[in-house]
Amino acid sequence: MTFSLPAKATGLREIDPALLDLRADSEIVAQLNTFQPITSEKNVWAIWDNGFERMYPTHQQTVLNWVRRLGQSWTVRLVDFKDGSPNNIYNYVDKEWFPECFINKTMDGKHAPQHAADLARLPLVYQYGGVYLDVSNMLHVHLDTLFWDDLSAPDSPYEMGTWIIAGQISHKWDDFGNFLFAARKHCEFIKNWHNGYKELWKGRTNVDGFHKHPLIQEIGLAEAMRDPNHEDQINWMTDYVSQMVLGNRTRNLVDVEAGWKGIEFWENKVFMVEGIQNGILGALKTNLCGQKQADLFTTRLDEPDLAKRAEAEEFVIEMLEKSHMYKVYHNSMAGLPALGDLIKKKENQDVTFRPGTFGELYRYGTVHWEATRKVERLEPRKIGDDVIYGTPTRTAASFTN
């Protein structure tokens, strides 16, 4: 089904169809399920352990729409961990990037697939360049516009693009996400970040207790996730987001062996984009209520209650006009179920794209319309944190003991 721009969508404009990839789903899926040779740095890297067919339908639709929106200039790859798959991780990077539990398939714990994906994302971007996207990121903006034009310009100082989620990990302004980032090929920050994270996995099969590791202790726990009513929450949430905590450590690191300076790199070579309003605006507008978001998306286009119809239309237009993506996250802590929790249930699998609803209109808009507003680069702030004189895998204290 095709849609005209809603009259109220004054901050959106049509995209020239010649810039889009409008092939049928089946053709795009067939391409995603083949090995696509790497010919440039314009790669989208995404991961699902068991491949496209085993993803939730909402995420399948998201990946299909990336391909459509990005057109022929980007190659979207969905990497998996299936033996014999054309997109198996080892068809792209060597085993030396990974800890024993990853290689031996002995990873366990509640979120083992997510943490396996954590281990795989950084090597892919380091070795080939491009953008890493979680499959839960419903994209509203072309990646050239978001990061890549600025990273790839001939005189650009930038080697990396980050999604700033201020105060969400360690109560720091420059907390940044591991679910959306960009980098040029062989970016040193990416390699150092991965090597630090890999070090946590030595002799381990899960993340339980990572908060006690000296590398984590050196930079500090995920203080933004502390809950006075649940004393242990900060510990297991630090375990869960340990890769992002190590990202903060990498930023503060001066490598005493290689001479690499993280803060200098961060302040001069990173293109930063605000990622809260631009990433979870739908959750913020609904007081973090996933069910409310589902209700808005599934409101029918011919809903007889005009107030209800207007509310849903206003919601989807605002998402497309005022945010760069819509992250369908799941709730790892206490509180209301997030939209990402709901879409795992059979009755909710199509809530973001159900035919005849504002979800269908929204999904059409993610491909065919773009916001007229520009992407704003955040000016880096002086961090003010203590510099860590160590290496990606060794604490400062280990050099003085």
Residue 97, domain member (yes or no): yes
Average pLDDT, the chain: 97
pLDDT > 70: percent of the chain:
99
Q: Is residue 236 in a domain? A: yes
Residue 153 maps to a domain: yes
Mean pLDDT, range 162-176, rounded to an integer: 93
- In which band, very low, low, confident or very high, does the pLDDT at 334 lie, cut at 50, 70 and 90? low
What average pLDDT score do residues 313-333 get? 95
Amino acid 401: pLDDT: 67
Q: Is a pLDDT exceeding 70 seen at residue 94?
A: yes
pLDDT per position as a tens digit, 179-200: 999 999 999 999 999 999 999 9
Q: What is the pLDDT of residue 238?
A: 98
Does a structural domain hold residue 286?
no
pLDDT one-digit tens code per residue, 244-288: 999 999 999 999 999 999 999 999 999 999 999 999 999 999 999
Range of 390's domain?
Answer: 12-279+381-395
For the chain, what is the domain count?
1
pLDDT digits (tens, 9 = 90+) for 362-377: 999 999 999 999 999 9
Q: Residue 196 and residue 170: Cα distance in Å, rounded?
A: 18
> Given pLDDT bands bounded at 50, 70 and 90, which one contains residue 171?
confident
Q: What is the pLDDT of residue 230?
A: 87
Residue 334 included in any domain: no
**Segment 109-132 mean pLDDT:** 98
The predicted structure's pLDDT at residue 228? 85
Which of 105-114, 123-132, 325-334, 343-352 has the lowest average pLDDT? 325-334
Average pLDDT over residues 218-222: 97
| Inside any domain, residue 218 | yes
| Range with the poorest average pLDDT among 76-80, 294-298, 299-303, 335-339 | 335-339
Reported pTM: 0.97
Q: Is the pLDDT of residue 336 over 90?
A: no
Is 145 inside any structural domain?
yes
Residue 332 has pLDDT above 70, yes or no: no
pLDDT of 11-50, one tens digit each?
A: 999 999 999 999 999 999 999 999 999 999 999 999 999 9
Query: Whole-angstrom Cα distance, residue 93 to residue 81?
Result: 12
Over 90: is that where the pLDDT of 144 sits? yes
188 in a structural domain: yes
Tell me which residue of 233, 255, 266, 215 sits closest to 383, measured CA to CA. Answer: 266
β-bridge partners, 327:
137
